[in-house]
Amino acid sequence: MKRSLSRGLLSVAALSLAATLATPASAKTEITLSRFFGACDAEYGNVNDVSKASGECGIITTLVNQFNATNKEDIVVKPQIIEWGPYYTQIDARILSHDVPTISVMHEAVLGDYVKRNLVEPLDDGFKSVGIDKNDFTGHAHRGVTFGDKTYALPFDTHSWLWHINVNLFKKAGLVDANGKPILPKTPDELLAQAKQFKDKTGLPYFTVPIANEAAAQTRSFDTWVYQQNGTLFPSGPTKIDMHSPAATNALSLYDKLMKAGDITPGLDYGAANQAFENGKAGVLMCGTWVIEDFTNLAKKPDSTLANDGYEVVPFPNLFQKKAVWADGHSWIMLKGGAKDEKTRHAALVFLKFLYDHDGDWARTGHLPARQSIIDSAAFNALPHRSDIKEISSTGYSLPNTVPRQFAIQQIVGEEISNMLSTGKPLADVQKDAEDRTNKLLAK
């Protein structure tokens, strides 16, 4: 009898031990994270400390690694890296095939299309459950993720369009003040006069901007100049664009005059435009927040054309009536069907809280934080050039989030402006064709 009891106890103990050994693996909750931002596992695949990372890819890769190594709830985030170009096409295909990621990155300009199709989970209650404070979102971030009275995404940043300035060339052109700071134009006529002076003194164009294969660049500058005039591209509602308003005409006319005067480098794609700026072939690069870190590091090299405090970055100067600039934001969403149960949903929210807590680390990319407390923090303002651009969190403007197909609109308008800049297409034809093509798209 005792021997049988002993054997029984041993069997129970063995089963208990086996269950214990199996528990860590079975208790883990895996969530998938679809994103762009590139792949950099060769450099950062084994780095768990985000303070040692730089760049969009490095920081997001390391944040995932750090979360996986430190979270106390046995949650494992599995990144699914998709190239930027086909990203949304692949997301759509995965929704149709019921292979939905748990969390996905999404531009706020695109978010409305998915909300309208009832594909995105509202997150207000989930945010409360893990301690994400919506009241800390900046005004621009809040507008980007809020539809009606519901929040559909965790805003991660505000990214915008800037002037990256070669101060050394501005000095050569006599366009700096007594403190050596670039003198910025305050009207379109001042810009045209400065551009002429710059070219006369340096033999170089004032601007470099990607024109070839980069329609979005033109739309961002055009939108900025429209917003600075208190203008709107959709005065009659979200499905009809107006390219003939005085604000739109003024913005296109300024672009056209600059190009015809030889003040913009012709025919360059994105990489070549950036290279032209790096090599000192133009005074100002019109590009985004995401290159601040790269140019800041380049300016530290003694042989750089940006050396000796030769790099400044500023929001687009106000050439019209108010400070304004095109802006968008990256955000994190939970598509319906991605979290298969409450355990997975909770795990996803825990990871979103981690990203919320590390919004300041993401800001090292050059993007503005989505949280006002971080924008106001000493740590953020100590980063190079951030105090010069932080106003964009309140001066950044986007199309109304009721306007559908915003990326497609950006492409159409940008293509028409690129045609004007590269082939001399008449301004009136640009207005007509951009309007016709956009309204035909939105009428479908």
Domains of the chain, first to last: 28-156+329-395 (3.40.190.10), 160-327+405-443 (3.40.190.10)
Report mean pLDDT in 10-residue bins for the chain, 444 residues.
Answer: 38 43 65 97 96 95 98 97 95 97 97 97 98 97 96 97 98 97 98 98 97 93 98 96 98 98 96 97 96 94 96 97 97 97 98 98 95 96 94 93 95 97 97 98 93
- Residue 213 pLDDT: 87
Whole-number Å distance between alpha carbons of 431 and 142:
32
Q: Residue by residue, what is the 3-state secondary structure of 200-251?
A: HHHCCCCEECCCCCCHHHHHHHHHHHHHCCCCCCCCCCCCCCCCCCHHHHHH
How far, CA to CA in Å, does 234 sit from each of 231, 255, 378, 403?
9, 21, 39, 8
> Quick one: pLDDT at residue 26?
52
Reading the block at residue 433, the tokens are 């064709």
What is the DSSP secondary structure assignment for residue 183, as one 8-state letter?
P
φ, ψ (nearest 5 deg) of residue 24: -55, -40
> 151-182 b/e with 16+ CB inside 10 Å = b?
bbbbbbbbbbbbbbbbbbbbebbebbeeeeeb
What are residue 326's DSSP bridge partners? 397
CA–CA gap between residue 139 and residue 95 (Å, rounded): 31
What is the model's pLDDT at position 444? 85
Using alpha carbons, select from 278, 293, 342, 262 the residue that is nearest to residue 31: 342
